[in-house]
Amino acid sequence: MMDALLDGGLALSLPFLAWLVLHTEALSQAVVLFVAMGLMSALAWARLEAPDIALVEAAVGTGLTGALLMHTLSWTEETAPEAHTRATRWVWDILAASALTGVLGWAVLALPADSLGLGPEVTARLADSGVEHPVTAVLLNFRGYDTLLEIAVLLVAALGARAVNPRTERPSLETEDDPLTGELFRMMTPAVLLLAGYLVWVGAHGPGGAFQAGAILAGGGVVAILTTRLGTPRMSSRRVRWALLMGPLLFVAVAVAPLFRGGRLLEFPPHLAGTLIFVVELALTVTITLVLLMFFPGVRPPKVEREGTP
Amino acid sequence: MTLLNVISALFLLAGAGFCLAGTVGVLRFPDVYCRLHALTKVDNLGLGLVVVGLALEAGSWATALKLFLVWFFVLISSAFTCQLIARAALRRGVGAWGGSRES
């Protein structure tokens, strides 16, 4: 009974919050509501027994994205939106949304009724994967290829973020000597490091792994950028480049190594699989942390004079 | 319904009551400093009571300790963020409420 109430409340609050995010007048309110919606969806994932996704949603979807949005908000001059420009295209919006909902609904209904998916197969072969958690087994062993490509995509994304906003290459000098925030950072650092290390290690047995740990570390890094004189990691520095490449390079090395012994790409020898996966996850954590940090610009960009504005 | 259940439920209800009072304060208080006061102090106490109530039901010392750790970190972060928000408001020249209730 209580569960049904909780789930019902969650299910109703998500679309309601989404509607509020789109319909608030003020940008700052929309950002706060977006963060609230992210927290609710993390709770929903937790209730759906998908703790991995809940962790990522809370850390990346809510924490980091919220920080990015807040940061962007401080660069904008908020003006009240013009109501009449918004109210003209809603017919097409409704049509498009209905079409999308229809297609998605049809896709769900077209699924075979009692298909178990690939779950049983993963469970049956779990012993060969070197880890005890099905999600980690799929991500880094059975479908390691996908994760390898994902890391490459993340690298490209970091390059893109730097290309769009190259002015953040200077270390930021906006922070002043502030005992309070520095103290907060000093108190937080050990806890953040411990939690990230635990998440990497626990990935072999339960929900956790490189992405979650990287997101937590990146969150700590954002606090560091905002409160200390570190500045954002600079692409021009050799150390940052090596750290960025550490995950992909190690992963490629581990993937290619079996080819020299007559094996196939990404074929881990079973007795080494657990160790290899752990080492790759550690390296990936470093890369993911830096990539996510690269998205966070440290310095206000210069004011851009738009045409038509005095 | 043992005695432990009853005590735990009382703690949980008290915590929920304090959280509710804090939220009402945030919505009703006149200026940013009063709202921060309600949000941080009252909510921290409410969360603490909820944590005590949950720890009584946790069944193991390890779980109870983790719950108290959660509370500890929330206390730290809320103290810092409260101070930061208040300082930002002061620097922007947001005045404190003078005490005259506008009708």
Tell me the pLDDT of chain A (310 aa) as tens digits.
788 998 999 999 999 999 999 888 888 889 999 999 999 999 999 999 888 889 888 888 888 888 888 878 877 776 655 555 555 667 888 899 899 999 999 998 888 777 777 778 888 878 777 788 888 888 887 888 888 898 999 999 888 887 776 655 454 445 555 677 777 788 888 989 998 999 898 888 887 788 889 988 988 888 787 777 676 777 778 888 898 898 899 988 888 888 887 777 777 877 788 888 888 899 999 999 998 888 877 555 555 545 444 4
User: What pLDDT does A42 receive?
Assistant: 94
d(CA A81, CA A28): 12
Q: What is the pLDDT of residue A270?
A: 77
Whole-number pLDDT of residue A13: 94
Sort out which chain A residues have CB atoms less than 8 A from B23's CB and list them.
none
pTM of the entire predicted model: 0.76
HEC string of A126-163 equals HHHHCCCCHHHHHHHHHCHHHHHHHHHHHHHHHHHHHH
Q: What is the pLDDT of residue B48?
A: 95
* DSSP secondary structure letter of residue A259: G
Is the confidence at residue B90, as pLDDT, over 90? Answer: no
Q: What local confidence, expressed as pLDDT, does residue A79 receive?
A: 61
Record: contact B76-A181, CB cut-off 8 A: no
Q: What does the pLDDT read at residue A304?
A: 52
Q: Is residue B103 part of a domain?
A: no
Count of pairs with CB atoms under 8 A, one residue in A, one in B: 10
C-alpha separations of A220 from A37, A175, A244, A304 in Å: 22, 16, 17, 30
Distance CA A34, CA A66 (A): 8
Please tell me the predicted confidence (pLDDT) of residue A310. 42
pLDDT of amino acid A211: 87
Contact A184 B73 (CB under 8 A): no
Closest CA to B10 of B57, B69, B44: B57
Q: Within a domain: residue B49? A: yes
Q: Where are the beta strands (DSSP E) in A126-278?
A: none
Task: Say what the pLDDT of residue B88 is.
Answer: 81
Residue A187 touches partner B, C-beta closer than 8 Å = yes
Amino acid at site B39 = L
- Best of A184, A187, A195, A226 to disrupt the B interface (most B CBs within 10 Å) is A184
- To the nearest 10°, the Cα dihedral for A256, A260, A265, A269? -100
Q: In this predicted structure, what is the pLDDT of residue A308?
A: 47
Contact status of A180 with chain B (Cβ, < 8 Å) = yes
Residues of B with a Cβ under 8 Å from any A Cβ are: 73, 76-77, 80, 83-84
pLDDT in tens, B20-71: 999 999 999 888 888 898 889 999 999 999 999 999 988 888 999 999 999 9
Would you say A199 and A209 are in contact if contact means Cβ atoms under 8 Å apart? yes
Domain, as residue range, for B90: 3-98
- Say if B83 falls within a structural domain: yes
What is the number of domains present in chain B? 1
**Domain locations in chain A?**
1-75, 125-300
Is the CB of residue A251 less than 8 Å from the CB of residue A244? no
